[in-house]
Amino acid sequence: ARQFTRPLNDLSNQFNTLLSAVAGADRVFDIIDEVEETSDEKQSKAISTLEGKVEFRDVTFAYEKDGYTVRGLSFLARPGESVALVGPTGAGKSTIINLITRFYEPASGKILFDDQDSMNIQRESLRNHMAFVLQESFLFQGTIRENIRYGRLDATDEEVEKAANMANAYSFIKRMPKGFDTELSQDGSGISQGQKQLLSIARAILADPSILILDEATSSIDTITEIKIQEALRLLMKGRTSFIIAHRLNTIQQADQILVVDSGQIIEKGSHDELLKKRGFYHSLYQNQLRKDHVKAQ
Least separation in angstroms between residue 9's CB and ligand ATP is 5
The secondary element (H helix, E strand) that includes residue 11 is helix 8-14
Q: Which residue lies nearer to ligand ATP by CB, 99 or 199?
A: 99
Say whether residue 95 binds ligand ATP (CB under 6 A). Answer: yes
Coil vs helix vs strand at 33: coil
- DSSP characters over 51-113: ---EEEEEEEEESSTTS-EEEEEEEEE-TT-EEEEE-STTSSHHHHHHHHTTSS--SEEEEEE
223 binds ligand ATP (CB under 6 A): no
Q: Which of 6, 53, 93, 203 binds ligand ATP (CB under 6 A)?
A: 93
CB-based burial label for 288 (10 Å; 0-12, 13-18, 19+): exposed
Bridge partners, residue 266, by sequence: 261
Enumerate residues 11-70 that contact ligand ATP by CB under 6 A: 63-64, 67-68
Q: At what angle do helices 157-166 and 193-207 cross, to 10 degrees?
A: 120
Check binding of 89 to ligand ATP (CB under 6 A).
Answer: yes
Query: What amino acid is encoded at 200 in this protein?
Result: S
E-state strands within the chain: 54-62, 69-77, 82-86, 108-113, 116-117, 130-133, 142-143, 183-184, 211-215, 241-245, 257-262, 265-270
Residues in contact with ligand ATP, counted by CB under 6 A, come to a total of 13
Pick one of 82, 94, 118, 135: the residue that binds ligand ATP (CB under 6 A): 94
Contact assessment for residue 211 and residue 79, using Cβ atoms and an 8 Å cutoff: no
Question: Shortest approach of ligand ATP to residue 262 CB, angstroms?
Answer: 9
User: What single-letter DSSP state applies at residue 260?
Assistant: E
Residues 40, 52, 56, 92: which binds ligand ATP (CB under 6 A)?
A: 92
* Residue 62 C-beta: closest distance to ligand ATP, Å: 8
Q: How far is the CB of 104 from ligand ATP (least distance, A)?
A: 8
Q: Compute the least distance from the CB of residue 261 to ligand ATP, in Å.
A: 6
Indicate the residue among 137 and 147 with the shorter CB distance to ligand ATP. Answer: 137
Q: Do the Cβ atoms of 98 and 73 come closer than 8 Å? A: no
Distance in Å, CB of 157 to ligand ATP, minimum: 38
The residue among 65 and 296 lying less far from ligand ATP, judged by its C-beta, is: 65
Based on CB atoms, which residue is closest to ligand ATP, 68 or 74?
68
| Shortest spacing between CB 91 and ligand ATP, in angstroms | 4
- Backbone torsion region of residue 256, taken as left when φ is above 0, otherwise alpha when ψ lies between -120 and 50, otherwise beta: alpha
Quick one: 144 or 259, whose CB is closer to ligand ATP? 259
Compare residues 9 and 185 and give the one whose CB is closer to ligand ATP: 9
Binding residues for ligand ATP (CB under 6 A):
9, 63-64, 67-68, 87, 89-95
